Amino acid sequence: QKEVEQDPGPLSVPEGAIVSLNCTYSNSAFQYFMWYRQYSRKGPELLMYTYSSGNKEDGRFTAQVDKSSKYISLFIRDSQPSDSATYLCAMTPPSGNTGKLIFGQGTTLQVKP
Amino acid sequence: NAGVTQTPKFQVLKTGQSMTLQCAQDMNHEYMSWYRQDPGMGLRLIHYSVGAGITDQGEVPNGYNVSRSTTEDFPLRLLSAAPSQTSVYFCASSYRVAGELFFGEGSRLTVL
């Protein structure tokens, strides 16, 4: 079993929809939780970064962490065609060293106009 | 400010050939990493470095070699290429422990 599980999709939604992307993990000692966005043929870029359980909001994006359930989510409100990308969850091992980030498989999202 | 620069962007090799993927960053980051990305597998860590002269293995190090002689550069060497090394390779850097990882645009390698 992988340490971090993420449904690869693809997920297709109409423009304006609310999107929910999720990851589960097995190691309760993971410390920092991140969401990266990767456009086709580009490198991943950091979208959201959280440490504690709860919600963190940034514009149309909300990251949610539930450490008791070992579950993290990314919500996208009013989704746009420009949100079409692969979304990767990532988390740091207990050492906290992000040189050793552990990634999910990535979920491919398509937002149709 | 170029960020993380990878070369080459594309490469085709024959089985058994060797080559070096170059990575350079101009952000004075201490931490640098190499990942490979394969369909359905996500990003897997090959090697990483916490500073000049210090390297360590990640999840899938076999068949790869790294060195870190300067803060800026972190080349990845394929010793004897195999078809299983066909992948997209990403170099990344970070300015501190638990900091944001900045990625290059990737190097697409095909081994025939």
pLDDT at A28: 86
Strand partners, A76: A19, A61
Q: For residues B107 and A86, what is the distance between their CA atoms, to the nearest angstrom?
A: 18
pLDDT at residue A36 in the model: 96
The Cα–Cα gap between B75 and B22 comes to 5
Q: What angle do CA A59, A103, B17 make, to 5 degrees?
A: 130
Per-residue confidence (pLDDT) for residue A101, from 0 to 100: 82
The whole-number pLDDT of residue B3 equals 93
Best CA proximity match to B78, nearest among B33, B26, B11:
B11
> In Å, how far is B61's CA from the nearest CA of chain A?
13
User: What per-residue confidence (pLDDT) applies to A92?
Assistant: 83
How do residues A28-79 score in pLDDT, each as one tens digit?
888 889 999 999 999 999 999 888 788 999 999 999 999 999 999 999 999 9
pLDDT of A10 strictly over 80 = yes
pLDDT at B61: 96
Distance (Å, whole) CA A73 – CA B50: 30
User: Given B32, B100, B105, which is nearest A46 (Cβ)?
Assistant: B100
Residues of B with CB under 8 A from a CB of A: 4, 31-33, 35, 40-45, 48-50, 58, 90, 92, 94, 97-101, 103-106
pLDDT at B95: 84
pLDDT of amino acid A102: 87
> Residue type at B63?
G
Give A68's contacts (C-beta < 8 A, 6+ positions apart).
A53
Which residues on chain B are in Cβ contact (under 8 Å) with A102?
A: 45
Residues of chain B with pLDDT under 70: 1, 97-98
Distance from CA of B72 to the nearest CA of A (A): 15
Give the C-alpha separation, A107 to A23, whole Å.
Answer: 10
Residue found under tokens 């091992």: A93
Segment A12-19 shows an average pLDDT of 97
pLDDT the model gives residue A97:
55
